[in-house]
Amino acid sequence: MISIGANGFQYFVNYIVAILVAIALALALRLPLLPENPIRFSWTKSALFPTPVFAIGILAIFYSLNVFWIYDGIVIAILTGIFSALFVKYLFDYIFPSPQGGAE
């Protein structure tokens, strides 16, 4: 189903929900909270990066296509957070391999 839309506050709430669900599930899947030191040159995945970035990116794609589904998009925000945490945990290294010579 496609809804007419949501207001700006609902967008903000949905993005926050997607971020919190993604981080919580990533921590439950035992991803580290922060990448290893030095953070600037680390290629390890963590709960704070890139998990919420994928969540808000995929959610933004849904909203740009004007797809909100039910409850003004809150269900899509939850599903997006779950999908992004599972993606980073299990599929991230296959789609985005670490650079040559980089530590894993």
Sequence ranges of the domains in the chain:
9-35+45-95
Q: Given a cut of 70, is residue 15 above it in pLDDT?
A: yes
Summarised one tens digit per residue, pLDDT across range 17-45 is 999 999 999 999 999 988 877 666 667 88
Asked if 78 and 17 count as a contact pair (C-beta separation under 8 A), the reply is yes
Query: Which is nearest to 74 in space by CA: 63, 61, 86?
Result: 63
Tokens at 35, concatenated: 């990448």
Summarised one tens digit per residue, pLDDT across range 38-84 is 666 667 888 988 999 999 999 999 988 988 888 888 999 999 999 99
Query: Which is nearest to 21 in space by CA: 60, 49, 42, 51?
Result: 51
